[in-house]
Amino acid sequence: MMAAGNHLTSERRREQAVSPLQRLYQIVNESVKRMQTGNENDRVVIMVDDASLLEVSAGGRSDQVLAFLQYCRAINSGHNRCSVVVLVHGDTDITYGAAGLDNGGYVEHGEQRVASLAHELDHIADVVISVDPLSTGLANDVHGQVTVVHWSDVLSNRESRKGIQTLQFKLMENNTTFFHPGGRF
């Protein structure tokens, strides 16, 4: 009887040793496997609404969040059938750590410079979409700009601007209008 009790205790220890992101990955992976039909045209998109929540569940460890996202990205990677879409707020890293000041994608923690989650995700992403206010300040007819960077295009072309597209936008009551900088909407 004692052996059975020790076995249950060791199983519980193993369950507790698994991080929340490891458990989440197991759930995602099992869900993707259940959805597979064998059709080559099937695609899976994993959407993370706010990566900072993953970072909170990982105890502030962005390396665990990156590992989780890379594991998700690798699901069915041989068949190129899985995409991962992640929302990251570039300004959330400023709130992590009392000494944290955003320095070009890095957050100061004592003497150590740690790359922010948004900065690290930029390096592994195929496409980065950035929504920013206008650098010139407020305007009545333009509310901000969207920059889309297709890294595969940027890296494969000598003229790197081919993989970068910038649009400005105006928010309306029921929709958003996009247009090229200097263009009319």
> pLDDT above 90 covers what percent of the chain?
26
Q: Are 107 and 116 in contact (CB under 8 A)?
A: yes
Confidence check: pLDDT of 118 > 90: no
Q: Are 143 and 124 in contact (CB under 8 A)?
A: no
Sign of the alpha-carbon dihedral angle for 15, 17, 20, 21: negative
Q: Tell me which residue of 165, 170, 164 sits closest to 184, measured CA to CA.
A: 170
Letter string b/e over residues 45-58, b meaning 16 or more CB atoms within 10 A of that residue's CB:
ebebeebbebbebb
Predicted TM-score (pTM) of this structure: 0.67
* Residue 114: DSSP 8-state: E
DSSP-derived 3-state class of residue 121: helix
Mean pLDDT of 141-167: 75
How high is the pLDDT of residue 99? 38
Q: In what order do the strands lie in the sheet with 144-150?
A: 127-132, 144-150, 164-171, 176-179
Structure confidence at residue 157 as a pLDDT band (50, 70, 90): low
Average pLDDT over the chain reads 76
Domain layout of the chain by residue ranges: 40-125, 126-185
Task: Name which residue leads in pLDDT, 6 or 38.
Answer: 38
